[in-house]
Structure 1
Amino acid sequence: MDLIQAMRLFVKISDSGSFTRAAELMQLSRPVASTTLQQLESHLGTRLLSRTTRHLELTGDGRSYYAHCQRLLADLDKTAQLFRESGLQGVLRIDVPTRMARSLIAPHLPAFFQRYPDIHIEMGMSDHVIDLLREGVDCVLRVGALHEDRLVSKRLGLLPQGNYASPAYIRQWGKPQSLAELSQHYMVGYSRSLSEQTACWEYMENGENLSLAMPARITVNNAESYLACGLAGLGLIQVPAYDAALYLASGELIEVLPQYQAAALPVSVLYPYQRHSSQRVQVFVAWMSGILAGELAAGCFIPAV
């Protein structure tokens, strides 16, 4: 038994909650993964996992061993990086919001690959929160509040937002001049899941983040559709200023109620603790920080301090 390989497998099983998924990530067959874990438990003289037909749970010894494995494997990976001729090679799996992928990241990737030609990126694009550990993703870019406590997070900055409507919407419904008038208007509804309640219209007043309910004729669950519906005149929308800049310049969107903007959205990158020493992750984080700080127009991004 390769003890280090067995430890990595145990951590993958614990993170993903699945023998099958862990075996796929480790490029092992399901029977080999099961045998390896049995050998590890026999070597340690204790049960690490409690198996049922529905799910897996760490035993008390399993939780303790998991913590030790995380620290040891992180140290081993860091040591390997120190002696490797170049850590800037291999696959980097990332997940990013759809609009940021299209508007910011993809246009700048040619320059990234010129600088790091031996890194291969697998990029998922989603507006939904994914489980990095279960999906085997190295890092994610998140916009909004964070709720994960098992991950390393780094705040990159803030994205100021604005309120916008299309010329077609304003021709039909007029341009709101006050918060009170919003009850006579429609917004494009947004919900991460269509089974959840639609988000309210948000605004800042006297430094306080407030919200009010508005009618919506359509509700969507991703940023691309949200912006498209706004451009089609289906309601008022709230999007980051960088995302509206081109449409403002072309006249496809018009800003409304600029004195009542929603709070700026935090932008963060998250990655598992064991990826902390990965040079691929670190260069991507640094590159993404430079894109946000250097490429967005003044007023469209507030770098973290």
Structure 2
Amino acid sequence: MLREAEGIEQGVAAARAEPAGMLKVTAPLPVGVNILAPALPAFRQRHPKVSVDVRLSDRYVDLIEEGVDVAIRVGDPGDTRLIARRLAPHRICAFASPNYLRERGVPQHPNDLLQHDCVNFRYQSTGQEAVWPFNLGSKLIESTPPSALIIDTSDAVVAALAAGAGIGISATYIAAACVERRELVPVLHEFAYDRFHLHAVWPESRRGNPAVKAFVAFLQDVFPSPAPWDVLVQTRAREG
């Protein structure tokens, strides 16, 4: 009877340690569309007892107030109530279509952008246009070039660039699919500046949750460093 009781207790402990239940996750829209959503079937195969409720938005989500288990965020996690795990870099680069570059030439310096059609991104949360960061030696230069086309969705910016609208900046993980299909070419890559990292963050109260632990471990596989999308863009930049 003692051994039987011990076996039952071990079985209960194992069941408690197995990831299960509903997991609420939030991420920025472009991260969710381009990286997270395609990876979720693999997570479900690995942990079939976990259901994942994903909320994609560029709105800042208070995890504790809204009962969210895990968030993917760009840059400094910024909330001391949360545990953070660094993921892949959030790398920004300039891109243009091969046809546009054949017609207008390839810029060799950020100052050359004044002679080009530019496409910029506008933040929905603030209404501000994106600032373009460039690394000139050891100095960071930031500018917002005059743009004839301004769009408030990152994936739409990339679609416009692939269609030949001009030169624009994008996170590499958004542009990578177009780069792989040779619909976009990295430009000014030697001036690219890595300002932020992606982070997984979760409340202290979720520290021991098996589903949260499993999901965070999974995110480290999905967002490795170096990231495959960064390697692809760097390779194509070297090809010229």
| TM-score past 0.5 threshold | yes
- Which residue number in structure 2 is paired with residue 131 of structure 1? 62
The two structures have a TM-score, normalised by structure 2, of: 0.79
Read off the aligned partner of 2:91 and give its amino acid letter: P
Residue number in structure 2 paired with 1:289: 220
Within the candidate set 164, 170, 175, 2:106 is matched to 175
Could you say which residue in structure 2 is the equivalent of 1:224? 155
Residue 84 of structure 2 is matched in structure 1 by 153
AA at the equivalent of 1:267: L
**Is 2:43 the partner of 1:112?**
yes
Q: 1:146 to 1:100 in 2, by over 3 A?
A: same
Which of 260, 265, 271 is equivalent to 2:202?
271
Residue deviations 1:228-257 (CA, integer Å, cap 9, x gap): 222233332222334333322322101211
Q: Give, in whole Å, the separation in 2 of the partners of 1:197 and 1:84.
A: 49
Task: Give 1:166's aligned amino acid.
Answer: S
Instruction: Report the equivalent of 1:17.
Output: none
Provide the rounded CA distance (Å) in 2 between the counterparts of 1:231 and 1:225: 10
Among 109, 128, 144, which residue is 1:213 paired with?
A: 144
Post-superposition offset of 1:165: 0.6
In the aligned structure 2, how far is the partner of 1:187 from the partner of 1:228? 14
Give me the whole-angstrom Cα distance separating, in 2, the residues matched to 1:115 and 1:295.
Answer: 24
Aligned-residue Cα RMSD (Å) equals 2.7
CA–CA separation in structure 1 for the residues paired with 2:149 and 2:59: 19
- Provide the rounded CA distance (Å) in 1 between the counterparts of 2:184 and 2:203: 39
Separation (CA, whole Å) in 1 of partners of 2:108 and 2:171:
21
TM-aligned CA distance change 1:85 to 1:275, over 3 Å = closer
The separation in 2 between residues aligned to 1:132 and 1:219, in whole angstroms, is: 31
- CA–CA separation in structure 1 for the residues paired with 2:147 and 2:79: 31
Change (3 A) 1:91 1:159: same
Letter in 2 for 1:146: P
The alpha-carbon distance between structure 1 residues 191 and 130, as it changes in their structure 2 partners (threshold 3 A), is farther
8 Å CA contact retained: 2:89, 2:194? no
Q: Structure 1 218/195 Cα, relative in aligned 2: closer, same or farther at 3 Å?
A: farther
Task: Classify 1:227/1:101 alpha carbon distance in 2 versus 1 (closer, same or farther; 3 Å).
Answer: same
Aligned residue runs from structure 1 range 38-49, under 5 A: none
TM-score by length of 1: 0.64
Change (3 A) 1:263 1:186: farther
| One-letter amino acid of the structure 2 residue matched with residue 121 of structure 1 | V
What are the Cα deviations for residues 60-99 of structure 1, in whole angstroms up to 9, with x where unaligned?
xxxxxxxxxxxxxxxxxxxxx9686344111000012333
| CA separation of 1:125 and 1:87: change in aligned 2, threshold 3 A | same
Match of residue 122, structure 2, among 191, 194, 206: 191
Question: Post-superposition shift, 1:194?
Answer: 6.2
Residues 195, 98 of structure 1: alpha-carbon distance in 2 compared, 3 angstrom cutoff: closer
Aligned residues: 221
The equivalent of 2:164 in structure 1 is 233
Deviation at 1:285, TM superposition (A): 0.6
**Among the aligned pairs, what percent are the same residue?**
27
1:17-63 Cα distance to aligned partner (Å, 9 max, x none): xxxxxxxxxxxxxxxxxxxxxxxxxxxxxxxxxxxxxxxxxxxxxxx
| Secondary structure of 1:199's aligned partner | coil
- Aligned mates of 2:40, 2:119 — CA distance in 1: 32
Partner amino acid for 1:197?
Q
Q: Which amino acid aligns with 2:22?
A: V
> In structure 1, how many angstroms separate the alpha carbons of the residues matched to 2:180 and 2:219?
25
8 A Cα contact 1:141 1:269, kept in partner: yes
Q: Which runs of 5+ in 2 are unaligned?
A: 1-11, 233-240
Change (3 A) 1:145 1:188: farther
Aligned residue type for 1:119: V
**Higher relative contact order by CA 8 Å / sep ≥ 6: 1 or 2?**
2
The CA distance in 2 between the partners of 1:227 and 1:122, in whole Å, is 27
Q: Which runs of 5+ in 1 are unaligned?
A: 1-80
**2:174 pairs with one of 226, 243, 255:** 243
After superposition, what is the alpha-carbon deviation per residue over 1:181-230, rounded to whole angstroms, capped at 9, x for unaligned?
A: 11222332223226432122111122333212201123333322222222
